[in-house]
Structure 1
Amino acid sequence: MDTTQLREQLKTQIIKFLNLTDLTPADIKDDEPLFGDGLGLDSIDSLELIVLLKKEYGIDIRDPREGRKVLIDVATMADYIAEHGKK
């Protein structure tokens, strides 16, 4: 799977996992921050994203500092999955 496909897949999974029913993948920009002024996610959402990475890609993030580096935006998540994912 190329990076573009992975990014689109991630957007769909984020919407599904976080129950963001008012959004579509087209509403989420690849470089839009997931937290704060961007998508507006919170700390509970970050835990859900960590579960998503574990369940869907076999990536186990245990260090909060690593999580903050990975969960910046969709592009950063996709790059991390491409490098560390098991699927």
Structure 2
Amino acid sequence: MPLLLAAPCSAGGGSTDAKRTGGTALGGPHAYVRQQAQSPPFTVAAPGEGARGRTHDEISDPVLQGLTTALVRIGSAVEKQS
């Protein structure tokens, strides 16, 4: 499961960063994905880094799933407090 971070935000939007990281000495380069989304007043980010033999989708899909789950849980928690 990706590490999920939530912090207060002041603007809407989101972003995705996808690249390849690590040198050949570490068996790389490997896929790296970081997705960020905002559900004011929070910003949620989920990074994922692959390993040898893993495709971009094998890294990206769990990151997106974790980010989506976090946004749903934040929305539910905000609704309960309202």
The TM-score range, normalised by the shorter chain, is: under 0.3
Counting helix residues as a fraction of each chain, which structure ranks higher?
1
Counting strand residues as a fraction of each chain, which structure ranks higher?
2
